[in-house]
Structure 1
């Protein structure tokens, strides 16, 4: 079942006797590089720091808990909290030679193993039944029923000695914060510059007030320009309406100065508090699967019913049923190819590959082809066409589509369409 390495669980942990006093998993936190689990036992709380992977593949028992400034959240943390928080356990044991942590529930019906696979932290969740084991592996998201004994599909990782996880987190944080600080400094400097520029523009409200109070100069204006301010007037406006428009603009600018000044003060304070820059990096991704991947059912080309034509200028495909229409749209036709259909009618979908748009006589032939394969009764044919990238399926309804950026043509039926285009079929 597993590929790289295996060992018998019972044999590996036979020497580690479980505690006679039950323990409880109380808190689960995460930093950017560790998962942190607290286990409460009488008179003492122990923290397990489990590296997320990458350069952090250490599992460490410590008295230190992660400080709030180090904590980060992701979906993996939420899942672990829902599954493990508050659980009573019989034992929690570290295999230092392989960097594997084993957690055994109080009733011995469940065991969870944390270890490393392909450089990333993973876990195996085992639920014991009478005769078999139900196994869940986070890397694949697959649930399997197996017979004991089972093997663990983890990579061999040598456990380093004398590691302080809190110091390691702080070192990581300082490195990232330094990069984040420089980037944040540049952004704030640019923001302050832009706000000051906006305030200078808004200060022109005084000039606008003066113009509104003395509007004679606006009489023959269609546009009022003041430095980089441009106010357009409607042709029907009289001089007083123009003055009202400018007065309203001046009033809005005056109010905006207060808002922008407040923004400037807050941004300058933020720039001065360099120690408060936040690290926005996401935690090291675990990419756990909580459900098995869905297998997409691929269309079988052998089931497709379609007719194909070609000449020197065109390659043409026409679907003979709804399923085939969908297959041609998704698989045969590319984004820039042409999709054609008879407007407001059910029937075949036509797809055209060409380096040019057909001319009118060629469109008549294509419309005639559609008429025959759609069993369309009229001799005047209204078609709609667009590029295939603008055609989207309607979920759950085979052959039905919605389209955009379409063009329409009304054309006459040409019985000799195949000869006119010198088409050959294959």
Structure 2
């Protein structure tokens, strides 16, 4: 096994709090003393992690958790107070808006400046120049001083330079949601390409969908310390529970008096009605995790209600690489049954699977028709399946719409 591209051990960063005289003019004139605190600020404490070649690691946590500080330490911009980090390879990074750019220089000149800072020979930078400009969609403005760029133009140029100048390590801080939908799709594709080439990545983002799609492992920081570290799916499930808060379900008792259901991690809801089991069925009616395009498919939801309810909407969302492929509402299709207390099964049948090849995450929600923010039970991307049989080469849309093409001789004008 090759050595880690990034190996951080016991990283800590402590800042001295500002201890200069902050008394007001009145306090200075009256010689009034103010107690000055010298208590240090611990931004990071004893953070250890590694990133292997070709691996993407996401860093998550609420504001002030130390995510950006960690990236600055890994990039070598800021030295740690204690601990050490070993890096192997050329670093491409975008850690803050306009970092490393000279505002009076043009975008063209700043590309060469960025290349120089990364240690990229000028000849390599020249070879990548057109790709950088076109990817950032800035050709009409490339000779304009970047001080006239919008924040989006800044980040597009910085991101494009970072990912096209042959990095071996990539560090990105909050840039995964920049630009329009087209630019985001191109950015995701580029990041996947780099990972396939063996580039190691560390990504900080509040876009949890993006991190779920891109990252192999997640590092969860909380108040400067490692709170969780492991496979993306497991850590993200616990993090979503932390963000959304667990809601304790009322216990639904069987005839024998024992509890029928316990809320697992990664789900929230008030619990008047819950989904106890989800099944994805293929054309033969058997449970499967692999579907075929244009073949029938069925989603079955076993429900348990603790009371009679008549305001429940069933919602399904299918996502692929952080993009929503489809969102389905039962009410929108005229499905508005009354749920009697006890068990029931909802069947959602599709005459054809219109999703294209790929891996999908499905969110299942039972929500109030009168208040879409009120969830009875909400499974956040807990169900996964794949669609097999590749699409034609070079063509990979999210949906395979039932469209027919016809050609009639002599009708062209």
TM-score, scaled to structure 1:
0.22
* Structure number having the greater helix percentage: 1
Higher-Rg structure is: 1
User: Taking CA–CA contacts closer than 8 Å with sequence separation of 6 or more, which of the two structures ends up with the larger relative contact order?
Assistant: 2
TM-score, scaled to structure 2:
0.23
